[in-house]
Amino acid sequence: MYTQSITRSHRTAFVLAIDSSGSMAERIRFEGRETSKAEAVARVADRLLFELVERARRTDGIRDYYDIALVGYGAEGTRPLLGDGPGFRPITEVASFARPRTAERREYRLPDGTAALLDEVPVPQWIEPCARGETPMYEALLEVRDLVAGWIARPDHAGSFPPVVFNITDGEASDCTDEELQEVCTQIRALHTDDGAVLLVNIHLASDDRERPLLFPTADERDCGNRYATLLYDCSSEMPALFEPAIRALRGGTAPYRGMSYNASLQELVAILNIGSISIRTE
């Protein structure tokens, strides 16, 4: 299980469900500048899309190794973040949606504490940040479930590496009970191709740096004293052996690891997305 390489005849899929609620307007510092959580998450997601486009690039052009779906959830309920309508887009189409972004300057601190400004390589922009309303996470995950089920039902995807779903939020769902959230997550994880079950990774962004973050927790970290962290643990997938070396290098500990984080920093979000997307072998 979880052994199928990604090829044009065995593509895989990635889904990003991104919290666009009002709390994502909170100001934070990310890579040397002040920004909102919504802007920082959009930039991190843009980098993931750019990485996937570049990993699919060959001498004959971009090959359709990946299908991508992005779902935002906030004041308008759910909304597509790629193109004009909901659904998956092949990576070649995703590449065509990119908007150029001007180069910016990034601040770093030298060992003596002085600031150094370096030019940043511009990454194209796909996602427009948004932070309004409540957190209809249940509605978003229902949509994700249906999108993934439709993708898996296609005969040409039967043998593919299963889709990976990332749910990125800084709060709790406003439209369901804990039991309802756990049920829809169970339904997503029950979907599968011949190569394995769908992987659901729930990522809770830091709102309080006084709480210890959890990153790909192990079984002995499930009962950490925080109700919501325990709920996310139960809602998330156990990570397959394929991902274990990268996770172990990131956080140490002993597998199995659960595909979730609680109170994660933006830098940890980058690491989680990288592990969840780049560990899969592409041919």
Dihedral sign for Cα 248, 250, 251, 257, please.
negative
Between CA 154 and CA 149 the distance in angstroms is 9
Between CA 265 and CA 271 the distance in angstroms is 10
Exposure class string for 34-46: b at 16+ Cβ within 10 A, else e: ebbbbbbbbbbbb
- Taking 50 as the pLDDT cut, the residues of the chain under it are none
Between CA 13 and CA 18 the distance in angstroms is 16
In angstroms, how far is the first alpha carbon of the chain from the final one?
A: 18
Contact in structure between 34 and 27 (CB atoms under 8 Å): yes
Helix (H, G, I), strand (E, B) or coil at 123: coil
Tell me the DSSP string of 54-73: HHTEETTEE---EEEEEEEE
Match 């193109």 to its residue by tokens. 83
Contact in structure between 82 and 155 (CB atoms under 8 Å): no
Both tokens of 76, joined, read: 């308008």
Between CA 31 and CA 27 the distance in angstroms is 13
Between CA 135 and CA 178 the distance in angstroms is 14
Both tokens of 49, joined, read: 């899309």
What pLDDT was estimated at residue 121? 62
Q: What is the pTM of this model?
A: 0.92
Both tokens of 254, joined, read: 């002993």
Helix axes 137-153, 178-190, angle to 10 degrees: 10
Exposure class string for 162-193: b at 16+ Cβ within 10 A, else e: bbbbbbbbbbebebbeeeebeebbebbbebeb
